[in-house]
Amino acid sequence: MEGVLLIHKPAGMTSHDCVAKMRRIAKTKKVGHTGTLDPDVTGVLPVCLGRATKIVEYLTAESKTYEAEVTIGISTETEDASGEIVEKKAVIETITDEMALDALSSLTGEIDQVPPMYSAVKIGGKKLYEYARAGQTIERPSRKITVHEMTLLSSVQSGGETASFRFKVSCSKGTYVRTLAVMIGEHLGYPAHMSHLVRTGSGSFTIDQCHTFEEIEKVAEENRLQELLIPIGTALNHLPKLSINDTLAKKVKNGTLLEVPAGLNPGAESIAVYGEDGTCLAIYRQHPEKPHFLKPSKVLAID
């Protein structure tokens, strides 16, 4: 059994919980997810089974799409609704849709973002949330992220001393949407936190393709789980493609170098190599010392 399974992650489970559950359902240890989601967050969680665990890094690197809600006027220690309140500032003025759009626009493109203390980013050999749980706040270097697009999904709603609105964001790997919510608040002059989040897309995978655990367990009981799995070659459709003949395919299985064919951009970071039957055999990249050749990054084919 091998391929990529698109899980509609429920609230209350960590990504690791989902992997552990799939190991039990599929009766295999070879399971890995392609991008952590916080326990409160729902949505698209691609999980790789069997030989597909070899392509986890290529799916994790893909951009993600989210639908989120930001609440203005309150900040929390975790930057989301699960954390303790650390600051309040009553929203007395009217925050207009135009002001919200301006805040979203200011955060579009390549920006610097500081990872939140409650995150799995490692500094000094420890995860940031380990420092946070010990009551420590440490200096975190900012890092470049790319926000491809931000869209306002609702008008600004005011209630009591807070305001809120929903937005859609398409962003690079490593982006913390809850930190974007805090940054939106900073732009508007208020503390803020992310009050809701759903991942609606991961690379080319969308939420309407995903399966609940109830659906997955039912299919597994009927011994039809393989029917839900996306083949490795299909899952790598976002990479440049190179098709080769069967004679060359045998050499690819042994890690041979390949000449860069005419029309292929050798500068592409990763190139998926397929056999005549459409099976993805390996992932190659340009040779660092021999620019007219490709060298294997990962051999996927098995005899």
Catalytic residues: 38
CA 3 vs CA 198, 241, 269: distances in Å: 24, 18, 23
22, 5 in Cβ contact below 8 A?
Answer: yes
Nearest CA-CA partner of 283 in 273, 293, 291? 273
- Check residue 114 and report its DSSP letter: P
CA 196 vs CA 38, 69, 178, 202: distances in Å: 11, 5, 9, 18
CA 79 vs CA 76, 85, 92: distances in Å: 5, 9, 22
Alpha-carbon span 169 to 180, nearest angstrom: 10
Q: How many C-beta atoms surround the C-beta of residue 275 within 10 A? A: 20
Q: Which residues pair with 149 in a beta bridge?
A: 170
- Check residue 70 and report its DSSP letter: E
